[in-house]
A = this chain, B = another copy of it.
């Protein structure tokens, strides 16, 4: 042990702890890479740096509600876009539809209040469902949520960019680049480990809520006292292209249900609240539901009152803001706050998706990479996967909120349903005090959300919901397949008895493939002799003259290792060499065949391509050969 170097610290018998010096770069490239990473995402943190912040109700509302609340920025528009198909006169239906969605929100929120009480340690759909309904339902819930999170990012960012381009139409042509840029920014921020610290979230969320409330109250006041809109935003009359059927109304309703996404966030994060956790979480959930109801219904009311018609290039919110404030500081404030609120909503998915991936990977349903925390303690693999998937969606759908909506909300409502159904099962199983009442509440929740999911799947099937219907079961199969593989590997690797001894092996037979007689060969032969008594050098070549020459030289040299010449008239190395191994393995059966590869380490990495890649190809083939061990003996040219 070299205590001077200070890379390791001994804390007990056979127990060392690495210090920060142990992770310093060893080559200029590693140092450069570490420096670049430090600038981009910050210096590495140790496990001890994991934060444990407790949130006040005010901060918690900002952290957990931004996703749900910000959806009021596009939900009304999505309803109007469907109703518009039946002509301008149908737009008035937005009021009863919005009322229905508010009622649905009340049901879902009441249901989740019970989940909070039952799972004060945090009750995401995956965990609650696994606990009560078993593996497959929990994987359905998890897959729905993962899909939902990806779509939350895509939809929120697209809507946020729409807020920006409504205020600055010149940016309209760059909306895809803007959306991708925002996602990359959020990704970087999350790799740095932007914690869900209330402070960061407070300002944008309350700016958003404040702006919307102000707009709604001022708007309502102006309408009630009979003042005309500051700017006339009434849309031109739309001719109907479809009949106003129940089907169309239901389609409009499901579009508006996007407002409810994110409602489950608080029940996931109960442990982050200050004590009494459950009580504070329940109150925050109620506050969130009330605020969301006011914002969403208020916007719908104003939009209908002002006869606003959705149009390309300007959001409904932007039109409402123009009617209420005119284009001035307050208008720009609303647009800017909308954008910030929506980007923050996407950011919550960047916390939720990696965390759920972590849970799934911990239970072996996802590759282990998703379990590892990166330099900054964030789940880098999950963050990366979410970034790639959401950028893919944004680019394919041209950062258009409206074309993404048919895919959205279905996943979220499936996870609502499984979570509520799990609660029903739980009440039935435990039968504590008031279990009938509680079961009824969650039962109504489960039934309603299931109904909405069904309506959604049917009415939006051809618009894109079919993708979710197809992807969801495939994803569940993938998760099960991964788990199956890990289980199988675990089975095969487990010791037969807990005190199973190390099997005894004879010293191996060493084969050293060589190119000729030089120092690297000597180095490899000397290593082979140090680990085995039985060493053979093999020269594979297509050149008869070279072979005979090598044989003569080998005899003159007089080292005591036998040389086998393997002439390969087809000029290939791997096949004849493997054939040779097959041939000698019939003689020696006990120890694995050991192939000692003299490898050559040039001074600079770019010189690698100047040397035969034969060793690499040989290694690739030998890796799959049973009972074969490959030993790399690098010869460094610098020394």
**Using Cβ atoms and an 8 Å threshold, which residues of chain B touch A519?**
492-495
In the complex, the answer to whether A15 meets B565 with C-beta atoms within 8 Å is yes
Among A293-301, A326-334, A502-510, the stretch in contact with B: A502-510
A530 at the interface (CB under 8 A from B): yes
* Complex CA distance for A374 and B570, rounded to whole angstroms: 8
* Complex CA distance for A48 and B636, rounded to whole angstroms: 38
* Complex CA distance for A435 and B26, rounded to whole angstroms: 64
Give, as a whole number of angstroms, the nearest-CB distance from A9 to chain B.
9
**Using Cβ atoms and an 8 Å threshold, which residues of chain B touch A623?**
599, 601, 632, 634
Q: A18-B568, A522-B502 are in contact. Are A5 and B527 (CB under 8 A)?
A: no
A610 at the interface (CB under 8 A from B): yes
In the complex, the answer to whether B628 meets A556 with C-beta atoms within 8 Å is no
**Using Cβ atoms and an 8 Å threshold, which residues of chain B touch A579?**
5, 7-8, 18, 21-22
In the complex, the answer to whether B631 meets A629 with C-beta atoms within 8 Å is yes
A239 at the interface (CB under 8 A from B): no
**Using Cβ atoms and an 8 Å threshold, which residues of chain B touch A8?**
566, 576, 579-580, 583
* Complex CA distance for A626 and B582, rounded to whole angstroms: 33
Give, as a whole number of angstroms, the nearest-CB distance from A10 to chain B.
10
In the complex, the answer to whether A375 meets B570 with C-beta atoms within 8 Å is yes
A1-36 residues with Cβ-Cβ distance < 8 A to B are 1-2, 5, 7-8, 11, 14-18, 20-24, 26-27
In the complex, the answer to whether A547 meets B15 with C-beta atoms within 8 Å is yes
In the complex, the answer to whether A2 meets B582 with C-beta atoms within 8 Å is yes
A44 at the interface (CB under 8 A from B): yes
0/1 string, A248-269, CB within 8 A of B gives 1:
0000000000000000000000
Give, as a whole number of angstroms, the nearest-CB distance from A548 to chain B.
9
A489 at the interface (CB under 8 A from B): yes
**Using Cβ atoms and an 8 Å threshold, which residues of chain B touch A591?**
530
* Complex CA distance for A601 and B601, rounded to whole angstroms: 26
Closest to A556 in B: B498
* Complex CA distance for A348 and B286, rounded to whole angstroms: 82
**Using Cβ atoms and an 8 Å threshold, which residues of chain B touch A621?**
26
Count, chain A residues at interface, CB 8 A: 120
In the complex, the answer to whether A567 meets B529 with C-beta atoms within 8 Å is no
Give, as a whole number of angstroms, the nearest-CB distance from A610 to chain B.
5
Q: A5-B582, A494-B519 are in contact. Are A17 and B559 (CB under 8 A)?
A: no
In the complex, the answer to whether B47 meets A571 with C-beta atoms within 8 Å is yes
Give, as a whole number of angstroms, the nearest-CB distance from A572 to chain B.
5
A633 at the interface (CB under 8 A from B): yes
A473 at the interface (CB under 8 A from B): no
Interface of chain A: mostly helix, strand, loop or mixed: mixed
0/1 string, A75-102, CB within 8 A of B gives 1:
0000000000000000000000000000
* Complex CA distance for A621 and B27, rounded to whole angstroms: 10
In the complex, the answer to whether A47 meets B542 with C-beta atoms within 8 Å is yes
Give the copy number: 2
Q: A367-B609, A634-B623 are in contact. Are A570 and B26 (CB under 8 A)?
A: no
* Complex CA distance for A27 and B532, rounded to whole angstroms: 31
A570-587 residues with Cβ-Cβ distance < 8 A to B are 570-572, 575-576, 578-580, 582-584, 586
* Complex CA distance for A601 and B446, rounded to whole angstroms: 45
Closest to A624 in B: B601
Closest to A638 in B: B626
**Using Cβ atoms and an 8 Å threshold, which residues of chain B touch A500?**
522
A563 at the interface (CB under 8 A from B): yes
0/1 string, A598-639, CB within 8 A of B gives 1:
011110000101111000000101011010111111111101
A461 at the interface (CB under 8 A from B): no
**Using Cβ atoms and an 8 Å threshold, which residues of chain B touch A17?**
566-569
Give, as a whole number of angstroms, the nearest-CB distance from A484 to chain B.
11
**Using Cβ atoms and an 8 Å threshold, which residues of chain B touch A2?**
582-583, 586
**Using Cβ atoms and an 8 Å threshold, which residues of chain B touch A448?**
none
A398 at the interface (CB under 8 A from B): no
* Complex CA distance for A493 and B529, rounded to whole angstroms: 20
In the complex, the answer to whether B530 meets A507 with C-beta atoms within 8 Å is yes
* Complex CA distance for A523 and B518, rounded to whole angstroms: 34
In the complex, the answer to whether B624 meets A633 with C-beta atoms within 8 Å is no
**Using Cβ atoms and an 8 Å threshold, which residues of chain B touch A526?**
502-505
A485 at the interface (CB under 8 A from B): yes
A342 at the interface (CB under 8 A from B): no
* Complex CA distance for A179 and B486, rounded to whole angstroms: 51
A549-564 residues with Cβ-Cβ distance < 8 A to B are 551, 556-564
* Complex CA distance for A629 and B599, rounded to whole angstroms: 10
* Complex CA distance for A569 and B18, rounded to whole angstroms: 7
A359 at the interface (CB under 8 A from B): no
**Using Cβ atoms and an 8 Å threshold, which residues of chain B touch A403?**
none
Closest to A578 in B: B26
A189 at the interface (CB under 8 A from B): no
**Using Cβ atoms and an 8 Å threshold, which residues of chain B touch A494?**
518-519
Give, as a whole number of angstroms, the nearest-CB distance from A614 to chain B.
10
Closest to A537 in B: B14
Q: A501-B559, A522-B502 are in contact. Are A631 and B634 (CB under 8 A)?
A: no
In the complex, the answer to whether B1 meets A576 with C-beta atoms within 8 Å is no
**Using Cβ atoms and an 8 Å threshold, which residues of chain B touch A568?**
17-18, 22
A109 at the interface (CB under 8 A from B): no
Supply 7 A–B pairs (Cβ within 8 Å), ascending by A.
Answer: A8-B580, A14-B562, A18-B579, A492-B637, A493-B520, A505-B529, A629-B632
18 more A-B contacts (CB under 8 A) besides A48-B569, A492-B519? A5-B582, A7-B576, A8-B580, A14-B564, A21-B579, A22-B575, A23-B570, A368-B610, A372-B571, A486-B610, A489-B600, A493-B520, A495-B519, A502-B529, A505-B526, A592-B633, A599-B623, A629-B632
**8 tightest A-B CB contacts, nearest first:** A18-B576, A7-B579, A46-B569, A531-B531, A23-B575, A493-B518, A505-B530, A22-B579
